[in-house]
Structures are given as C-alpha cells and as structure tokens.
Structure 1
Amino acid sequence: MEREEAEKRVLDAAEELFYGQGIRAVGMDAIRSASGVPLKRLYQLFPSKDALIEAYLRRRDARWLSELARYVETTESPTQRILAVFDWLSRWFSEPGFRGCGFINSFGEMGATSPAVAGMAKAHKQAFRHYVADLVAAAEVPDRLTDHLVLLAEGAMTTAAIHGSPEPARQAKDAARTLLQTSTRPRPGRGA
C-alpha cells in the first residue's frame, strides 16, 4: 500500500471516528480496524495518537475553510457574501452526522491537557475570524462587525450541534442581516 493511500485511509477513518465518537473514546485499534491499515504501518505514518489528532485537525481546518470560501465566492455582492457564510453553515448543519464544530469539540475534550489541540483550535478560529474580516472589509461595513458576525456564526455552530437543527444558521443570518442594514462605516472627515 502506497504511503499516500495509507495516510488518506487512516485520516479518513480518524476523522469519521474522532468527529463521530470523540477523540478520547477512539483508540488506535479502532482507527486500524476502520482504515484497514495494519497497526505497524499506522504507527509508521503517525508515531502517536497525538500526531494523528494533529494531522486530523490540520486536514479538517484546510478542508473546512476551503469549502466555506468556495461556497461564499459563488455570491457576487460583497454584503451577500457575508450572509452566504450563514447559508453555508445551514448546509453544513443539515449534513447527516453533524456534531458541531470539530475544533470546539476537540478543545472541549482535550484543550485543558493538550497545548497542541488548544493551539490548533485557536488557530482555526483565528483563521475563520480573518476570513470574516476580509468579507467585512470588502463589503465596506464597519470593522467592528467582524467580531459580532463571528460570534453569531460560532453561536450558531454550538446551538445547532446541541439541538440537531440547521435553524440556528437562519436565525444567525437574520441577526447578521440586521447588523449589516443598521451599520454604516463612518465617512472620513466626520466626527463620531
């Protein structure tokens, strides 16, 4: 089995099991069984469970941000792109097996004991914030909306996971629309 293929199979299995059952609940034997990669080969690819967890989170981060951006970029209006974030969240929340944000879940499980997991969760959330900040800048609305919009999205992720419904994405989108409609960027030369 080629290294690339074996690594993909292990990461696919790890993602399904870690996300579906929780990181602590899944051992390397379960990853071996689900991936079909012999345990010796698995440990050659990922010398420890911690190394596998980090690889899982790196891959999840890249894919999540890429899928979000790809969806949002199909919208032409800068303001509508901000709202498209919430449409994408609704689609994600509606997927079978949705269990919330993998980074929030990982941080909740291991953030207090794993600086690597805590750091990766923080980096993922910062990358999402930077993405939203870029959308806000392009829409020419006040920069202060960035944190408001991020909190709406993060709150929707958590609420959707708890309630098992995509409805929080719609509610967050409605709140985001209100924020966008009632906010204006100060014009240069005018005092606030």
Structure 2
Amino acid sequence: MQTDIDTPNDTLKKLLDTTERLIYAGGIGATGMDQIVKVSGVARKTIYRHFKTKDELVAEALRKRDERWMNWFITESEKGGTPAGKLLATFDALEQWFFTPDFRGCAFINAAGEIGDPTDPIRAVSKLHKVKLHDYLLQLTKEYGAADPEELAYEFLMLIDGAITVALVMNDRNAARKGKQLARKLLGNRAE
C-alpha cells in the first residue's frame, strides 16, 4: 500500500538534493538553514537529527553530487571508444554541461573557494572529487599507453579544470572546444 508520507530515505534524499541545488546556485555562505528548511520542506529538527552542522549537511550533499557527476562524466567519456577518443570525449562531456541552463562551474572548486579551513569536511569532499577525477584520467592515460601516464593525467586535469573555470568566469561556453584542441596537442599524432 502506497501512502503520501515520505519515508526517512525520501526525506533525506529531498534534503540533500535541495541543499545541493541551493548551494550550487547561490553558494554555501549565501544559503542559510532557513532557506534549506523552507525549500526542502524538511523540519530543522529532522535535519539536525541527521547532521550536527550545516557543514556536515553540505559535505554530504557534495558527496552525492560527486557520485552522480562522476558517473555521468565517465559514461559520457566512454562514448569516445578508443583510449584517445575517451580522453578527448571528456571535453565533449564538458561542452554538453557548459550549455545547460544551470551551469555554475565546478561545485567542488566553488565550495573549496568558500571554505578557508583545509580540514573542513567540505574541503575534504572537494579534494576527494578532484582525486577521483584524476584517478579516472590516470586510468585513461594508462589505457592510452602514455609514456608518463601520471603526468598526462595531471595535464588533462589541469585542462579540464581550466576549461570549467574559463566557461564560468569568462562566460565562454566554447571553452571545452578550446580545451579539446589543447588536449589533441598533448596526445600528438595519436589523437583519435
């Protein structure tokens, strides 16, 4: 029998989805608990039963975003087929993302930029996201057979984060195409 009452998992999902959406759109500092309560419809008492602080709530919302974003990014990149094609397809994925109406840059760079304390759980989640992205790129550069897969993965990470930043700060939605051109140069004559 189905009821209109949310299960605890539904409530937590709604809370995390709302928190993620609000902080991505407006920033951590600009998003107060009152706004999270109002938009999510989850009572403050319920929120604090799950999370001791706003930072813990934001960190968990970012963890969920990391899982979803990485799954999407990997799925899109794998469409490149060959090892070189997959590396270049990372920029096709970015281009797709840059043209979405709610694009606000990298949630993890944005979050890390707002939090001064490197031991804060939000910074830890932001760093973990970049480590996971690097590890995926390292997997691709090894498949590609790069002479120095670690260096090439790091260069791709720099290109990806640079393209994201340029797309946001300069409002240049074509930054992924430009990043892809630079990536081709890194791959040399083995590109695609």
Q: State TM-score, norm by structure 2.
A: 0.90
SS at match of 1:100: coil
The aligned counterpart of 1:155 is 162
Provide, for residues 134-161 of structure 1, a one-character-per-residue CA deviation record: whole Å limited to 9, x for no partner: 1011011232221111111110011111
Distance in 1 between residues matched to 2:96 and 2:85, nearest whole Å: 16
Query: Separation in 2 of the partners of 1:70 and 1:113?
Result: 31
The CA distance in 2 between the partners of 1:160 and 1:114, in whole Å, is 29
- State the partner residue of 1:90: 95
CA contact (8 A) 1:100 1:157 kept: yes
**In the TM superposition, what is the alpha-carbon distance from 1:97 to its structure 2 partner?**
1.6
Q: Describe the superposition over 1:21-61 as per-residue Cα deviations: whole angstroms up to 9, x where unpaired.
A: 00011111100111111222222232321110111111111
In structure 2, stretches of 5+ residues that fail to align are 1-5
Corresponding residue number in structure 1 for 2:3: none
Aligned to 1:187: none
| AA partner of residue 3 (structure 1) | P
* Cα RMSD, aligned residues only: 1.7
TM-score under structure 1 normalisation?
Answer: 0.90
For 1:97 and 1:157, the matched residues in 2 are separated by 14
Structure 1 unmatched ranges of 5 or more = 185-192
**What residue is the counterpart of 2:185 in the other structure?**
178
Q: Distance in 2 between matches of 1:100 and 1:114?
A: 23
Percent identity over paired residues? 36
Structure 1 residue 81 and structure 2 residue 86: aligned?
Answer: yes
By how many angstroms is 1:164 displaced? 2.4
Q: SS state of the match for residue 150, structure 1?
A: helix
Shift of residue 18, structure 1, vs aligned partner: 0.4
1:166 Cα deviation after fit: 2.0
Partner of 2:131: 126
Matching residue of 1:29: 34
CA distance in 1, matches of 2:116, 2:62: 13
Deviations 1:109-145 (A, max 9, x none): 0143652222221111111111001101101123222
Kept in 1: contact 2:70–2:133 (CA 8 A):
yes
Query: Cα gap change, 1:114/1:122 in structure 2, threshold over 3 Å: closer, same or farther?
Result: same
Q: 2:18 aligns with which of 13, 19, 36?
A: 13
State the 4+ residue runs in structure 1 displaced beyond 4 angstroms: none
Question: Which residue is equivalent to 2:110?
Answer: 105
